[in-house]
Amino acid sequence: MIQVSHLTKFYGPRAAVNDLTFEVKKGEIVGFLGPNGAGKSTTMKILTGFMPASSGSAKIAGYDVFASPLEVKRNIGFLPENPPVYPEMQVQDYLQFAAELHQVPREKLRTAVDHALTKTSLGDVRHRLIGNLSKGFRQRVGLAQALVHNPAILILDEPTVGLDPKQIIEIRELIKGLGGEHTVILSSHILPEVTATCERIIVISKGRIVAEDTIDQLTTRIKKGVIYSLVVKNPDPTGVAAIRNIPGIHTVTQAGPKLVIEVQSGTNEIRDQIIETAVKKEMGVLEFSAEKVSLEEIFLQLTTIETPTQSTGATV
Amino acid sequence: MSPKNVWTIARKDFRTYFSSPIAYIVIAGFMLIMGWMFFYTLSHFEMQSMQYQQFNTGKSPSLTEGIIRPVYGNMNVIFLFLVPFITMRLFAEERKLHTIELLLTSPVRLTEIVLGKFISSFLLILVMLGVTLTYPIILFATGNPELGPIVTSYLGTLLLASCYLSIGILFSSLTENQIVAGSLTFATSLFFWLVNWAAQASGPIWSEILNYLSLIGHYSNFGQGLIDSSDVIYYLSFIGLGLFLTHRVLDSFRWR
């Protein structure tokens, strides 16, 4: 449904998007994950035909984004970062305008608008002025606008920003429900957002794809050994060295009284030994805990630790 | 190009004029000033014709010369002041609210967007001109005016006001700030109005060029009941150029 190959976009000398290649199949929900400024919005703007790429190509529903922008735009529903709503319009009139802009036939306008209102549960505010609605409602109006012409592909830029927790859950459910029938790409810089709604994640950082997989595989693939943290009263170098020498320990990093101990994956239970050594060296154990490797950390690792490979890539 | 898309955008913006105070303020201000002007011109004309009847001195007064020309000539000046308020929000507001992204990611052409915006403001001008139809009605009810000059005055005013509109739409597309858009529209319109003032002081070629460029210079024939195709062509090209440049500005958004 969406094919992107070697997409690159330069803003002056800076590449906002650098050689992106990915594919999204019909009915899939794909999450675009990356820190702020990673190039998510730029990629989405290119896909919607809002701006052209510097090089590379993108095809949507079989149409090339650059060669036939009108056909592409007809097949897309787009929710930009800021919901594009007119404060002086009523919700219903606004949705009708959006539907007409997307050439929904006149006899189907009413049902299209009603359908979008129901899906986003905006029925109660249909006659209110958008300017008088809260940020969360405006976001939903923006989403309704993207849905109103029943597009094959939905491109949602940070769809749950500014919503309260209850609304976030509602919108996530709504997006999940769209899969199958619609193809959805959504972007986010918040990980739980993506894990809650998407089947597949594309992690991008500094304009490049750093990982692309299902959530489960991403977790197992990147998971390194277990990490423990040990806080001691007396972190003297001989003690630290002794812990480092325990077989199975990968690294020990020291930050003041806190030692972060990374265990090689596949090592058996080793906690006893660590504490024993610390006690023997009279380090004065204050705290010992296991740190879970969460997806959040994987995300951080992907987007920050892999910087060296990116910098070599940039100089080429 | 699809007329339906143009109409979708034109209708939305036309309705926006009336769901905000803009249309009411502009129309009310326009009616107040024009009404006062018509009343003043009418009473002045009445005095002149009474003098003429009593003493048989001076020029024989004609409704065309005495009322229609001054009233519709002054209307052009009023439009010079009011059009910036009509056009300033058309694109500047869309840019500021990011709603321009909705328009630019919808399956509509840039030409359709620009024409839709132009037509919405053109319709508002039509409403304003429609209100002034009471003046010829009063003249026909009480006297015997010529129809020709009235019709051409309306046509000329409409074309001239449309030129201001095209300037205004262009400046509105260039900035997010409505005040900037409005001020530049007024300044530029005024410049094209006054550009022939320098004609007397310049050489023969320049004087001809400056006279040709003047917006008001091309109106005088309309005020006398004449339609000269060169005037019509000048106005239409002026409008076309303004809208074409707006199209280029919108297209440039994609390259930023």
In a domain? residue A182: yes
- Strand pairing of A227-232 and A285-291? antiparallel
Q: Work out the minimum CA distance from B242 to partner chain A, whole angstroms.
A: 23
Three-class SS string for chain A? Answer: CEEEEEEEEEECCEEEEEEEEEEECCCCEEEEECCCCCCHHHHHHHHCCCCCCCEEEEEECCEECCCCHHHHHHCEEEECCCCCCCCCCEHHHHHHHHHHHCCCCHHHHHHHHHHHHHHCCCHHHCCCEHHHCCHHHHHHHHHHHHHCCCCCEEEEECCCCCCCHHHHHHHHHHHHHHECCEEEEEEECCHHHHHHHCCEEEEEECCEEEEEEEHHHHHHHHCCCCEEEEEECCCCHHHHHHHHCCCCEEEEEEECCEEEEEECCCCCCCHHHHHHHHHHCCCCEEEEEEECCCHHHHHHHHHHHCHHHHHHHHHC
Q: What is the pLDDT of residues A52-81, one digit of tens each?
A: 888 888 999 889 988 888 999 999 999 998
Contact B105 A145 (CB under 8 A): no
Q: How confident is the model at residue A307 (pLDDT cuts 50, 70, 90)?
A: very low
**Residue A220: its pLDDT value, please?**
60
Q: Of B15, B161, B23, B9, nearest to B83 (Cα)?
A: B161
Shortest Cα distance, chain B CAs vs residue A239, angstroms: 58
Write out chain B residues lying below 8 Å of A153, CB-based. none
Could B106 and A102 be called an inter-chain contact, meaning their C-beta atoms sit closer than 8 Å? yes
Q: Tell me: pLDDT of A316 over 80.
A: no
Distance from CA of B69 to the nearest CA of A (A): 40
Asked if A284 is an interface residue toward chain B (Cβ–Cβ < 8 A), one would say no
Find chain B residues with C-beta within 8 A of A71's C-beta.
107
CATH code where residue A244 lies: 3.30.70.100
Q: Is A141 on the interface with B (CB under 8 A)?
A: no
CB contact under 8 A, A101 and B107: yes
Taking contacts as CB-CB distances below 8 angstroms, the residues of chain B near A128 are none
Q: Out of B8, B15, B98, whose CB is closest to A84?
A: B98
Does A150 lie in the same domain as A101?
A: yes
Confidence of residue B38 (pLDDT cuts 50, 70, 90): very high
Kindly identify which residue of chain B lies nearest to residue A53, measuring between CA atoms: B255
Identify whether residues A36 and A48 lie together within a single domain: yes
Most A CBs within 10 A among B7, B95, B105, B111, hence the mutation to make, goes to B105
What pLDDT shows up at residue A294?
Answer: 59
Are A37 and A153 members of one domain? Answer: yes
Q: Is A76 on the interface with B (CB under 8 A)?
A: yes
All residues of chain B having their beta carbon less than 8 Å from the beta carbon of residue A100 are: 8
Q: Are both A210 and A229 inside the same structural domain?
A: no
- Give the model's pLDDT for residue A312: 37
Q: In this model, does residue B159 exceed pLDDT 90? A: yes
**Mean pLDDT, residues A247-275 taken together:** 80
Q: Do A84 and B16 touch (CB under 8 A)?
A: no
- What burial class does residue B125 get, using C-beta atoms within 10 Å of its C-beta: 0-12 exposed, 13-18 middle, 19+ buried? buried
By the CB < 8 Å criterion, does B20 face chain A?
yes
Q: Sort out which chain B residues have CB atoms less than 8 A from A60's CB and list them.
A: none
* Residue to substitute from B19, B96, B106, interface A, most A β-carbons within 10 A: B106
Q: How far is A85 from chain B (nearest CA, A)?
A: 6
- Residue A134 inside a domain? The answer is yes
Mean pLDDT for A292-296 is 60
Q: Which residues contact A124 (CB under 8 A, 6 or more apart)?
A: none
Residue B15: is its pLDDT beyond 60? yes
Q: Per the CB < 8 Å rule, is A80 touching B104?
A: no
One domain, residues A88 and A233: no
Same-domain check for residues A177 and A198:
yes
Question: Is A25 within 8 Å of A46 (Cβ atoms)?
Answer: no
Chain B interface includes A145 (CB < 8 A): yes
Q: What integer pLDDT is reported at residue A266 of this predicted model?
A: 63
Closest chain A residue to B98, measured at CA: A84
Domain annotation covers residue A45: yes
Q: Do A26 and A116 belong together in one domain?
A: yes
**90-149 in chain B: CB under 8 A from chain A:** 97-109
A45 and A97 inside one domain: yes
Cβ within 8 Å, pair A73-B105 = yes
CATH of the domain at A24: 3.40.50.300
Query: Comparing A140-149, A254-263, B1-10, B221-230, which segment has the lowest mean pLDDT?
Result: A254-263
Does A313 map to a domain? no
Residue B28, pLDDT > 90, answer yes
Residues of B in contact with A102 (CB under 8 A): 106-107
Q: Write down the pLDDT at residue A297.
A: 64
pLDDT in tens, B113-132: 999 999 999 999 999 999 99
Contact B105 A98 (CB under 8 A): no
Q: Is the pLDDT of residue B51 over 90?
A: no
Is B99–A86 a contact, with Cβ atoms under 8 angstroms apart? yes
pLDDT given for residue B256 in this prediction: 65
Tell me what pLDDT residue A195 has.
79
Helix (H, G, I), strand (E, B) or coil at B107: coil
Question: What's the confidence (pLDDT) of residue B25?
Answer: 95
Q: Averaged over B60-71, what is the pLDDT?
A: 84
Q: Is residue A300 assigned to a domain?
A: no
Confirm whether A88 is domain-assigned.
yes
Residue of A nearest to B101 (CA): A84
In a domain, A164, yes or no: yes
The arithmetic mean of pLDDT across residues B216-244, rounded, is: 92
* Residue A309 predicted with pLDDT over 60: no
| Average pLDDT score over chain B | 91
Which residues of chain A make contact with B98, given a CB cutoff of 8 A?
80-82, 84
Q: What is the pLDDT of residues A190-225, one digit of tens each?
A: 777 787 888 888 888 888 887 787 877 766 655 555
Q: Which of A204, A221, A238 is the last residue of a domain?
A: A221
CB pairs below 8 Å between A and B: how many?
68
Does residue A266 sit in the same domain as residue A134? no
Same domain, A217 and A247: no
Total number of domains constituting chain A: 2
pLDDT, residue A273, reads 85
Domain of residue A51: give its range: 2-221
Judged by a CB distance cut-off of 8 A, whether residue A131 touches chain B is no
Both A213 and A246 in a single domain?
no
Inspect the interface and report whether the beta carbons of B97 and A88 lie closer than 8 Å: no
Q: Hey, is B119 helix, strand or coil? A: helix
Predicted local confidence at residue A99, as pLDDT: 95
Is B98–A80 a contact, with Cβ atoms under 8 angstroms apart? yes
Residue B23 has pLDDT above 80, yes or no: yes
Strand partners, A23: A3
Mean of the per-residue pLDDT values for chain A?
83
pLDDT digits (tens, 9 = 90+) for B131-141: 999 999 999 99
pLDDT tens per residue, range A141-189: 999 999 999 999 999 998 887 778 888 888 888 888 888 788 999 998 8
Query: Does B99 sit within 8 Å of A52, measured CB to CB?
Result: no
Closest by Cα among B236, B7, B24, B253 to B131 = B24
What's the pLDDT score for residue B31?
95
Are A152 and A286 contained in the same domain?
no
